[in-house]
Amino acid sequence: MLAILLFVLAALALLLVPGPSVLYIVSQSATHGPKGGLVSVAGIDTATLTHAVAAAFGLSAILLSSALAFDAVKLAGAAYLVILGIRTVFSKHSANSSLADMGVPRKRLSRLFAQGYVVNLLNPKTALFFYAFLPQFVVPYQGGVIEQTLTLGVLFVALALCTDSMYALTTSAAGQWLSLKACRVLNTQKYITGTTYVALGLIAATTSSRT
């Protein structure tokens, strides 16, 4: 239970601050209203679930081949989280230009879902994130690695659906004003997100796989 609680807290820390996916959802919600925003959320998080399932079976295959290889993947994931955190903190990416680039004409709901799914499915950073993040909360000696990883992945997606839907509904209600606010928030959120990534990576790197 403690591992699940820690996982939920870590996941929420990453989900509650606006990132690229949230910016995409905010943009679609401001343009297409609450239905368009929620359909975009469904597309984004369905792709997230696809990545989680792929990670579950991939990590299980690695563990079955070698426990040492699994530990190596875990340490590599910890290093990746640290590097990702540092790059996030020092990023010079412009949130205002990103949101402007995401503005699109009104589209059918089916196209919004497909677009959200494809955008997130083809994002290699999402796949890498799951291979780096999920193993930190898997306890191999307890067995059932696939079940553990799938449970964590589904839990992450459920939390993402809640937080993403909150952004979609709030944005569609507040309109363009909130979209501009989200841009300003994004300019400072990188420090929160980056620090969280680094902390997770350092904790994982200094904790044994049996802890």
Q: For residue 99, what pLDDT is reported? A: 41
Using only C-alpha atoms, the chain has a radius of gyration, in whole angstroms, of 18
Q: What is the pTM of this model?
A: 0.69
112 touches 40 (CB < 8 A)? yes
210 within some domain: no
Among the residue ranges 60-69, 91-100, 103-112, the one predicted with the least confidence is 91-100
More confident residue, 184 or 163: 163
118 within some domain: yes
Find the domain containing 157 and state its range: 2-205
211 within some domain: no
Report how far residue 150's alpha carbon sits from residue 94's, in angstroms, rounded to the nearest whole number.
Answer: 35
> What does the mean pLDDT of the chain come to?
76
Domain count, the chain: 1
pLDDT over threshold 80, residue 15? yes
